[in-house]
């Protein structure tokens, strides 16, 4: 069910949500959090789709804030809020409200969002693109327990990574880090099996890959070894090599969903290591909303001392 509201208010949107729930026969609110998505028209469809798929695991009220850019001076002085309320099958397993702000309302989007937050429930803010330099000081970011950015969506991801390190606050995270969860799990499992000291490390990836840089910094911080960065044709992270006293531990994924794990003195084995969808990444981030200490460690790990070799 969809309800369109033009030149509306937060009070009218709340009434529309209640009316929609009653119309589909679910008057109770069974959602566990509020997801606020701050995006533009170009990326709104994909962002909403990812959030609705993630809501099947985490029923939530999704508030999509789209700040419309005025084309004329008259439009810039015309403050207005339009909304599209979706409930039932049109909103995954929760509720979705698409908020389009015009004029001065765009500068005070937090005042529109605040009355629509679920009471006594965590708030997560996600910027699929164009995240603020300091998410915790953003008016919408200040409302959230969890703030999700994505360095893959910027032109200079490694500069953005350094900016994230400078402005980090507990509750910040980035999908470039979330993409590394399978890699980190496999590396930890491989070291548990090898039971040997790591003396060197190499991360191979496409150029300017923020996940690869985070992985290299994480290895440096945790293993206390210098990690070499090697540029390959990609896609994304293609291999990690850990030099040990007994030989080399290698996880190699040149392409496709499968990787090869090689341990010293053992036959190679094939492992599943696919590139996950955005909805899977968001669902993982919503499983725990406390501070991501490992992300903070990776951000502040030792920076590379040499430029990558090809």
Position 118 scores a pLDDT of 92
Q: What is the pLDDT of residues 188-245, one digit of tens each?
A: 999 988 888 999 999 999 999 999 999 999 999 999 999 999 999 888 999 999 999 8
Q: Which residue has the higher pLDDT, 308 or 38?
A: 38
DSSP-derived 3-state class of residue 262: strand
Position 305 scores a pLDDT of 46
- Do 169 and 142 meet the contact criterion of CB atoms below 8 Å apart? no
Instruction: Compute the mean pLDDT over every residue in the chain, rounded to the nearest whole number.
Output: 89
Residues in CB range of 152: below 8 A, 6 or more apart: 175, 176, 210
Helix H segments across 195-308?
210-223, 278-285, 293-299
Lowest mean pLDDT among 42-51, 52-61, 278-287: 52-61
Find the mean pLDDT for residues 33-39: 96
Q: Report the share of the chain in percent with pLDDT over 70.
A: 92
Find the mean pLDDT for residues 140-145: 96
Find the mean pLDDT for residues 130-135: 93
Using CA atoms in the order 108, 113, 115, 116, what is the torsion angle rounded to 10 degrees?
A: 160
Q: What is the pLDDT of residues 86-113, one digit of tens each?
A: 987 766 677 899 999 998 898 899 999 9
- The bridge status of strand 123-126 relative to strand 33-39 is parallel
Global pTM? 0.90
Position 23 scores a pLDDT of 83
């Amino acid at each position: 069910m969809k309800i369109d509201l033009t030149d509306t208010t937060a009070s009218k949107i709340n009434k529309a949500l209640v009316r929609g729930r009653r119309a589909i026969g679910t008057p109770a609110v069974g959602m566990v959090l509020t997801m606020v998505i701050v995006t533009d028209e170009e990326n709104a469809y994909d962002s909403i789709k990812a959030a609705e798929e993630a809501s099947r695991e985490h029923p939530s009220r999704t508030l999509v804030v789209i700040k419309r850019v005025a084309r004329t001076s008259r439009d810039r002085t015309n403050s207005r809020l339009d909304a599209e309320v979706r409930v039932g099958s049109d909103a995954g397993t929760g509720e979705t409200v698409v908020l389009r702000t015009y004029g001065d309302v765009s500068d005070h989007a937090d005042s529109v969002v605040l009355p629509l937050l679920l009471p006594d429930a965590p708030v997560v803010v996600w910027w699929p693109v164009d995240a603020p330099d300091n998410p915790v000081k953003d008016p919408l970011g200040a409302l959230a327990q969890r703030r999700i950015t994505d360095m893959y969506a910027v032109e200079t991801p490694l500069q953005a990574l350094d900016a994230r390190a400078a402005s980090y606050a507990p509750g910040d995270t980035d999908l470039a880090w979330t993409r590394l969860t399978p890699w980190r799990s496999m590396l930890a499992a491989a070291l548990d099996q090898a039971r040997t000291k790591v003396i060197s490390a190499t991360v191979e990836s496409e150029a300017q890959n923020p996940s690869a840089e985070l992985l290299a910094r994480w290895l440096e911080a945790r293993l206390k070894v210098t990690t070499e960065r090697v540029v390959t044709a990609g896609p994304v992270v293609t291999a990690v090599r850990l030099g040990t006293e007994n030989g080399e531990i290698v996880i190699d994924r040149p392409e496709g969903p499968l990787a090869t794990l090689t341990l010293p003195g053992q036959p190679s084995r094939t492992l599943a290591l696919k590139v996950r969808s955005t909805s899977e990444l968001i669902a993982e981030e919503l499983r725990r909303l406390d501070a991501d200490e490992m992300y903070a460690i990776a951000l502040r790990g030792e920076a590379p001392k040499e430029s990558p070799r090809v």
